[in-house]
Copies of this chain bind each other. A is one copy, B any other.
């Protein structure tokens, strides 16, 4: 029944081709010494390897060469729609570089994060990429990595110090884009749903909004500004947006647009507005932030500020791969912090004010 397939080792290839394991190794890895190997030899070895179906043993290889061809990818919560495109970007770039991702999902739990970190270290990942936007992880924990010669990069989040690279969207520019859009559509009474304090994105986005408002002399009515509570559940944004918008409606203050912290919040807001009989976008425009995949599919489709999520994943991989190369060649190398440019995506949830409607 299950005719066990005996593993083909390098020794087998050596035997079959009539050379020594050393030569086989040199040829198959195209090591520096391969310059001196006779072409005929190379050919015979390669043929033997192919004929036998030789597959290098990654573990054994690691033991000598210290290269695992493996990168740890730590996601804080795969349930968050934000993560999927980022993950795609990471996966794709790693694949190009022949690295294999070891996947870890912290479920927003610190202990789980730590346990996974432990496991990743046991598996000797050559680098670590962390996708997150909250802060509760010890800086120490990640800083230790660089001691162990593991380059690390974070996406959507920065750690202080000079040991971890990061890739983020330019939140301030994004906040500005969102408000600018509403402003140019003629909206003046705008409700703002600010992000939870805990998230690193909240501050800069709000700052971008304020700056723009100030630059055009738009007054922000404090009674139209609300803030999401700190929450760890990935999709709490929806619930939060819903509830906070309900409250907003109860205040009976008029507004013609909502600038939500992110897309999920925006969907929550839309749900609440719709329930209250407010039509989107006829009676009220709504703009989100992120451009998660579902934003294009929802009804109405959501105008939002796009984070180039996939590109951010790519970028993080580039950073760590460079880091790996540098440490391999014992070159100096310093971390970098990237701010990606956001982009306004106009869809069906926003609409220009009718000139008379402001009042």
Contact = CB atoms under 8 A, between A and B. Distances in A.
B88 A84 contact: no
Given A63-B63, A298-B298, A299-B267, A58 B123 contact: yes
A2 interface: yes
B2 A146 contact: yes
A126 to B, nearest CB: 12
Contacts of A70: 102, 123
Contacts of A270: 299
A293 interface: yes
Contact of A102 (B84, B103, B105, B264): B103
A297 interface: yes
The 8 closest A-B pairs by CB, nearest first: A103-B103, A294-B294, A59-B62, A59-B59, A58-B122, A58-B123, A5-B147, A101-B103
Interface in A212-263: 235, 238
A137 to B, nearest CB: 18
B149 A2 contact: yes
A51 interface: no
A56 B121 CA distance: 9
Given A124-B59, A299-B270, A3 B100 contact: no
This chain: how many copies in the complex?
2
A84 B91 contact: no
A84 B84 CA distance: 8
A128 interface: no
A223 B283 CA distance: 39
B68 A79 contact: no
B102 A101 contact: yes
Contacts of A100: 102-104, 119-120, 123
A331 to B, nearest CB: 13
A122 B68 contact: no
The bracket for how many chain A residues form the interface is 35 or more
Given A63-B63, A147-B3, A267-B297, A121 B55 contact: yes
Interface string A52-76: 0001111110110000111001000
A57 B124 contact: yes
Given A88-B105, A297-B298, 20 more contacts: A4-B149, A55-B121, A55-B122, A57-B124, A58-B124, A59-B59, A59-B63, A78-B91, A79-B84, A84-B84, A91-B103, A91-B104, A92-B107, A100-B119, A264-B297, A267-B299, A271-B297, A294-B294, A294-B297, A294-B298
A101 B116 CA distance: 11
Contacts of A271: 297, 299
B88 A78 contact: yes
Nearest to A124: B59
